[in-house]
Amino acid sequence: MNLKKELPLIGIVLLPFVYLAYVWNQLPAQVPMHYNIEGEIDRYGNKSELILIPIMTSLLIYLIFLAVPYIDPKKQIQKMGGKYDTLKFIITTFMSILALFIIYTAKNQTLTDPDYILLGCGVLFLILGNYFKTLKANYFIGIRTPWTLESESVWKQTHKLAGKIWFLGGLLIILSCLILDGKTNFIVFMCITAIMVLVPVLYSYLLFRKQEA
């Protein structure tokens, strides 16, 4: 690992920890730990639980990204070069922002707009869609089905389609967040996400069956 190269991202990972330490004395003993889709508090917890938020989001994702190139049995991740580093930066930064947002809402004891999280997911899906076609076959990132892992051509064609679906899905989620709200927007988000996941999986199966015929 090139420590100098990783320092900016390490700083991003540490931001939620620093922010939590900064607001610690301002936090009440019991803080909101969960909200329903209307943005209403439905569970409180001890403020010490907040320590798990940055650990289970930005730090965990960052450590996974660091480990994957070393445990990838086919060493395909390493062939992605700078694209893998870009993905690591995007996803880790998103998780860090999410952790900051959760701690901020706990401090203020209000979730002003639940759609902010869905909007962020939409932006992330849109960005990831642009990278799908560049992914090499591997066991860790992408549409990892028995059929994509078995055939390189199925992997390539599946991710070419998935990239378009994820880009369009992310765009539709963003538009939904700007137009709709509350339960309706959450239902739309779940439906779009299900399509984004299920269609590439089904497509990979059909492609593999066609090749085997």
pLDDT tens per residue across span 145-189 = 999 999 999 999 999 999 999 999 999 999 999 898 778 888 999
What whole-number distance in Å separates Cα of residue 41 and Cα of residue 151?
47
Q: Is the pLDDT of residue 194 over 70?
A: yes
Q: Tokens 């420590």 — which residue?
A: 3
Q: What is the pLDDT of residue 37?
A: 64
What number of residues does the chain have?
Answer: 213
List Cβ neighbours of 179 (8 Å cut-off, separation of 6 or more).
none
Using 50, 70 and 90 to split pLDDT, how confident is the model at 113? low
pLDDT in tens, 63-105: 999 998 888 877 777 777 788 889 999 999 999 999 999 898 8
Structure token pair of residue 65: 């990204």
Report yes or no: 123 and 166 within 8 Å, Cβ to Cβ: no
pTM for this predicted structure: 0.84
Q: Could you give phi then psi for residue 116, rounded to 5 degrees? A: -60, -40
What residue spans define the domains of the chain? 1-112, 113-213
Using 50, 70 and 90 to split pLDDT, how confident is the model at 139? confident
**Nearest C-alpha neighbor of 131 from the set 176, 91, 96:** 91
Q: Is the pLDDT of residue 138 over 70?
A: yes
Using 50, 70 and 90 to split pLDDT, how confident is the model at 1? low
| Bridge partners, 30 (sequence order) | 46
Question: Which SS3 state, helix, strand or coil, does residue 172 take?
Answer: helix
Question: Which SS3 state, helix, strand or coil, does residue 61 take?
Answer: helix
Q: What is the pLDDT of residue 110?
A: 67
Report yes or no: 195 and 150 within 8 Å, Cβ to Cβ: no
Q: What is the pLDDT of residue 57?
A: 94
Report yes or no: 159 and 135 within 8 Å, Cβ to Cβ: yes
What whole-number distance in Å separates Cα of residue 46 and Cα of residue 30?
5
Report yes or no: 81 and 28 within 8 Å, Cβ to Cβ: no
Q: What is the pLDDT of residue 112?
A: 59
Helices (DSSP H) in the chain: which residue ranges? 3-23, 52-54, 60-71, 82-108, 115-131, 146-150, 152-179, 182-212
What whole-number distance in Å separates Cα of residue 158 and Cα of residue 149?
11
Count CA atoms within 13 Å of residue 35 on its CB side: 20
